[in-house]
């Protein structure tokens, strides 16, 4: 999976960090999303999907791996 974030859409709610702290953090200066791992392991797909669903600004997008 590939994770994309748009910091301009982020409102700093921090729901992504709560859902997947291995993948997301927040910038100290303004609280916007900080992507720690753009290509997290498949074991975290549920947590990342939860972060996408919980983001009030729609700032996170998940791209599934293409079929092989």
Per-residue pLDDT of 39-64, as tens digits, reads: 999 999 999 999 999 999 999 999 98
User: What's the predicted TM-score (pTM) here?
Assistant: 0.91
Per-residue pLDDT of 5-36, as tens digits, reads: 999 999 999 999 999 999 999 999 999 999 99
Where are the chain's structural domains?
2-63
Beta pairing partners, 2: 63
CATH code, 2-63: 3.30.70.20
């Amino acid at each position: 999976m590939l994770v994309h974030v748009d910091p301009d859409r982020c409102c700093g709610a921090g729901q992504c960090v709560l859902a997947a702290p291995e993948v997301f953090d927040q910038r100290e200066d303004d609280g916007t999303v900080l992507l720690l791992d753009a290509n997290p392991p498949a074991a975290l797909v549920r947590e990342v999907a939860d972060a996408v669903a919980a983001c009030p600004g729609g700032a996170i997008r998940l791209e599934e791996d293409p079929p092989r």
